[in-house]
């Protein structure tokens, strides 16, 4: 079981419409045309193993390439986590267009509704899972998502170096995806979690954005 904690302290309606870019966002490196699902001759679904293994290869490459300054062999897991989050952010800022086109979702009236839409529409549409929304903070600005199934981490075994299980947030790309997608609808959020198949998170140090 995996969990992800998401929080916000900034929810604005200053953007004219969903999908508009915040001023400081970088343009996508692979530009996509305006969402027009009708004209796309695309395949809707692919096999999960493709995602699981492709993602595993990304993480393995990062663990190999991002090493601590003091050592060429010891992985800098903090750097790996940050890179996964960065990659996820870049995905999220583009995936939101497809999400809005597929879901016909309008503005959420509050953060609780946002949480439900992320879980029951967003993750369901794209990952075919529905994480459980739980762990609301008293001020209602933070919640957790618990994944009973996580396609990214299916049968993953972390490096046996005594550090990875504590330090590597294996599925941290999802944190970035949620962050990027929310930012595009003018909801500044931060998310942090310890991700690992079979373990509940033991660090959900989410900070309000």
Binding site for a copy of itself (CB under 8 A): 29-33, 40-51, 53-58, 60-61, 65, 83, 87, 90-91, 94-95, 98, 125-129, 149, 151, 154-157, 159, 173
Q: Which is nearer to a copy of itself, 111 or 170 (by Cβ)?
A: 170
Among 85, 86, 64, CA closest to 161? 64
Q: How far apart are CB 52 and a copy of itself at their closest, in Å?
A: 8
Cα–Cα distance, 209 to 170 (Å, whole number): 22
Q: How far apart are CB 145 and a copy of itself at their closest, in Å?
A: 16
Q: Which is nearer to a copy of itself, 41 or 110 (by Cβ)?
A: 41
**What Rg, from alpha-carbon coordinates, does the chain have?**
17
Q: How far apart are CB 40 and a copy of itself at their closest, in Å?
A: 8
Q: Which is nearer to a copy of itself, 8 or 150 (by Cβ)?
A: 150
Cα–Cα distance, 185 to 21 (Å, whole number): 8
Cα–Cα distance, 195 to 168 (Å, whole number): 8
Cα–Cα distance, 145 to 131 (Å, whole number): 6
Q: Which is nearer to a copy of itself, 167 or 208 (by Cβ)?
A: 167
């Amino acid at each position: 079981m995996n969990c992800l904690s998401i929080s916000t302290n900034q929810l604005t309606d200053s953007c004219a419409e969903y999908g508009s870019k915040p001023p400081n966002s970088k343009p996508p490196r692979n530009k996509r045309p305006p969402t027009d699902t009708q004209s796309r001759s695309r395949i809707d679904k692919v096999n999960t193993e493709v995602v699981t293994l492709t993602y595993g290869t990304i993480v393995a490459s990062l663990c190999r390439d991002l090493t601590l300054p003091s050592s060429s062999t010891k992985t800098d897991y903090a750097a790996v986590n940050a890179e996964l989050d960065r990659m996820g952010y870049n995905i999220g800022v583009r995936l939101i267009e497809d999400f809005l086109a597929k879901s016909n979702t309008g503005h959420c009236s509050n953060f609780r509704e946002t949480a439900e839409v992320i879980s029951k529409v967003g993750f369901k549409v794209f990952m075919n899972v529905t994480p459980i929304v739980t762990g609301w903070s008293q001020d209602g600005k933070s919640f957790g998502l618990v994944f009973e199934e996580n396609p990214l981490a299916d049968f993953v075994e972390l490096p046996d170096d005594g550090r990875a299980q504590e330090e590597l947030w294996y599925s941290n790309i999802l944190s970035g995806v949620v962050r990027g997608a929310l930012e595009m609808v003018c909801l500044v959020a931060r998310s942090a979690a310890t991700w690992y198949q079979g373990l509940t998170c033991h660090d959900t140090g989410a900070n309000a954005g």
